[in-house]
Amino acid sequence: MSDSAVDPAEVRHVADLARVDLDEAELERFAEQFGEILDAFETLEEVPEVEREADLVNVMRPDERKESLDQEQALQNAEDEEGFFKGPKVS
């Protein structure tokens, strides 16, 4: 097994990509656990190349207008402003 130790800066980078804040304690804990877990994932190197089955088919339906949630239903779980979703600043 290779040495895939993960340092906290790397975990911080992935957490930024995934848009999840972590506190310092979580960061330390995850760095420690990720090395061990990724080591286990590396055993997948031993898997031979396998011919994948190619008999998958797309299932399509006609592109028709159907009933959907109305505005009130769509907004019922959200903070809204005059019938719109209210989100944070974009920049």
Partner 1 sequence: MSYNAFITRETIEGEEDGPLAGKTVAVKDNISTEGVRTTCGSAMLEEYVPPYDAAVVERLLEAGATIPGKTNMDEFGMGTTTETSAFGPTDNPAAEGRVPGGSSGGSAAAVAAGEADLALGTDTGGSVRCPAAFTGTVGIKPTYGLVSRYGLIAYANSLEQIGPIAPSVEEAAELLEVIAGLDDRDSTTRDAHEEVGERSPDGVREYAFADAADGDVDGLEIGIPTELLEGADERVVETFWDAIDELEARGASYHEVAMESLSHAVEAYYVIAMSEASSNLARFDGVRYGPTPEYEGNWNEEFAAVREEGFGEEVKRRILLGTYALSAGYHDKYYKQAQDARAWVKQDFDSALSEADVLASPTMPVPPMERGESLDDPLTMYLADANTTPVNLANLPAISVPAGETSDGLPVGLQLIGPAFGEREIIRAGSALA
Coil, strand or helix at 14: helix
Q: What is the dihedral of CA 27, 32, 33, 34, to 10 degrees?
A: 80
Does the footprint of partner 1 cover residue 7 (CB under 8 A)? Answer: no
Closest separation between CB of residue 19 and partner 1, Å?
5
How far is the C-alpha of 73 from the C-alpha of 68, rounded, in Å?
Answer: 10
Q: Which of 53, 55, 63, 82 binds partner 1 (CB under 8 A)?
A: 53
Positions in the binding site for partner 1 (CB under 8 A): 11, 14-23, 26, 30, 33-34, 36-38, 40-53, 59-61, 69, 73-74, 76-79, 85-91
